[in-house]
Structure 1
């Protein structure tokens, strides 16, 4: 996989099944702590594949967000920036790359509910018509991770 165009797969419109913890930092497992809801993503690539952009809406949640992904050739790494319609601000980036197995891992510093955290995004299970994204937070310097959001993307037919 050419890391510089690794997000080329992510173009078009996707139906998204979201599943998130009702408390992003609660380490306890339990189905009653998770909530599922739909989303729709419209994604595109730019700069000959070295930039990726998508907007996602969550119709039952009354919010939306967007992600800008930029490839840095000197570092051979991607920076992923998230912005929420609720706040109108750009969150700090997570940076990383795709491995030879096709899985992308991206990490960065952030804050959640006033607590300093490390954030991790993982892109995996990428096919021509689907992909999986997950988010996890660490409050102990990456010794442990609390996975708190999954998105399963299914491409809509053109």
Structure 2
């Protein structure tokens, strides 16, 4: 390890995620309607750090859905927070970022999004993190954060060695 990765300000929060993963997805069929019908499918992901861990890039493949995506995460040293950007192969556009940090083994990242044209608040949560597994979830709020509907869950299982 070099001096950069030894700094414990949060820049190493996503180090656990470097490597190759099998992903089990569970998505609500319809969001924002209190639905209970889920779509389940598998995919794969690979993540690697860049710039000494100040950034990382995740490539996600969802062949059963005909989609790919890229998450780009950047660490703000002064604020000690992460910003996460997403690009989907469905439209090729980079989303507005979510921002947050890890505390007590859980990462929470908040932002704004559009769901079928209507503005929503969004929270992404990373938890249940071990050396070989992790969980991610996405929830939307249609009422300015009073209530949240979880609409996407991902269970990650490591399939390849951790990459530096």
Shorter-chain TM-score category? Answer: over 0.9
- Separation in 2 of the partners of 1:103 and 1:78? 13
Shift of 1:2: 4.4
In the alignment, the residues of structure 2 paired with residue 103 and residue 117 of structure 1 have an alpha-carbon distance, to the nearest angstrom, of 22
Paired residue for 1:60? 64
The runs of 5 or more residues in structure 2 that have no matched partner are 1-7
Q: Displaced runs of 4+ in structure 1, greater than 4 A?
A: none
On the 8 A contact 1:10/1:45 being kept in 2, the answer is no
Normalising by the residue count of structure 1, what TM-score does the alignment of the two structures yield?
A: 0.94
Residues paired across the two proteins, number: 154
Partner residue in 2 for 1:11: 18
Q: Which runs of 5+ in 1 are unaligned?
A: none
Contact 1:111 1:117 in 2 (8 A): yes
TM-superposed CA distance for 1:41, in Å, is 0.2
TM-score when normalising by structure 2: 0.90
Q: Cα RMSD over matched residues?
A: 1.1
Which of 145, 151, 154 is matched with 1:151 structurally?
154
Which of 111, 114, 134 lines up with 2:114 in the alignment?
A: 111
- Structure 2 counterpart SS, 1:4: coil
3-state SS in 2 of match to 1:5: coil
